[in-house]
C-alpha cells in the first residue's frame, strides 16, 4: 500500500468524519498511522478515533483505535493491528474538538492523518 491520507491536510473547526478508505490488500495486517497537527490555538483540544467497517455502511459502536487527546502541534504515531479483524475492509477517521476556560469562538486546527503499512515503515528505517 502506498501511503494514503485518511485525512489530507485540512483546517478543522468542528467535529467531523473523514472519507472511507478501502484497505484492499492490506486487510488483516499491521498499519502505521501518523497524525500531524500543524496549527492549534491555545486552550483547545482535538480527539481522533479510527473507525473500521466491513461494508462501508456499519461503522460499529466504537473506534478501533483512539489517539490520546491532543492540545499541541506535533507529529503523533500509532500502530493499528488488524490481524484479529480481517473483516475490516474500510477505515475512516472521526474527530471531536473542544475549547475550555471560558474562551469564546470556534476551535481552529490544521491537521492530517497518514496511513501506511508497517512493512514500508520498517524498510524506510533500515535504509
Digit-coded pLDDT (tens) for 31-88: 999 999 999 988 899 999 999 999 999 999 999 999 999 999 999 999 999 999 999 9
Average pLDDT of the residues in 15-31: 91
Per-residue confidence band for 119, with pLDDT thresholds at 50, 70 and 90: low
pLDDT value of position 123: 46
Residue 103 to residues 25, 26, 37, Cα–Cα distance (Å): 46, 43, 20
Bridge partners, residue 92, by sequence? 51
* Residue that wins the pLDDT comparison between 7 and 1: 7
User: CATH no. for residue 111?
Assistant: 2.60.120.1110
pTM over 0.75: yes
Asked if residues 97 and 40 have their Cβ atoms less than 8 Å apart, the reply is: no
How many domains in the chain? Answer: 1
Q: Is the dihedral of CA 30, 84, 94, 2 positive or negative?
A: positive
* Residue that wins the pLDDT comparison between 15 and 25: 15
Bridge partners, residue 52, by sequence? 91
pLDDT value of position 42: 85
Percent of the chain surpassing pLDDT 90:
75
Average pLDDT of the residues in 91-97: 97
| 121 has pLDDT over 50 | no
Asked if residues 12 and 65 have their Cβ atoms less than 8 Å apart, the reply is: no
Q: Which domain holds residue 35?
A: 4-126
Mean pLDDT of the residues in the chain: 90
C-alpha cell belonging to residue 100: 475550555
3-class DSSP state for residue 122?
helix
Amino acid at each position: 500500500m502506498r501511503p494514503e491520507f485518511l485525512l489530507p491536510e485540512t483546517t478543522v473547526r468542528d467535529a467531523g468524519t473523514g472519507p472511507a478508505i478501502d484497505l484492499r490488500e492490506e486487510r488483516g495486517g499491521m498499519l502505521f498511522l501518523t497524525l500531524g497537527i500543524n496549527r492549534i490555538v491555545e486552550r483547545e483540544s482535538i480527539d481522533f478515533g479510527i473507525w473500521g467497517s466491513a461494508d462501508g455502511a456499519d461503522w460499529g459502536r466504537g473506534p478501533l483505535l483512539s489517539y490520546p487527546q491532543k492540545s499541541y502541534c506535533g507529529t503523533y504515531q500509532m500502530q493499528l493491528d488488524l490481524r484479529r479483524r480481517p473483516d475490516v475492509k474500510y477505515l475512516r477517521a472521526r474527530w471531536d474538538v473542544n475549547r475550555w476556560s471560558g474562551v469564546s469562538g470556534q476551535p481552529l486546527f490544521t491537521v492530517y492523518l497518514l496511513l501506511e503499512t508497517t512493512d514500508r515503515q520498517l524498510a524506510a528505517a533500515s535504509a
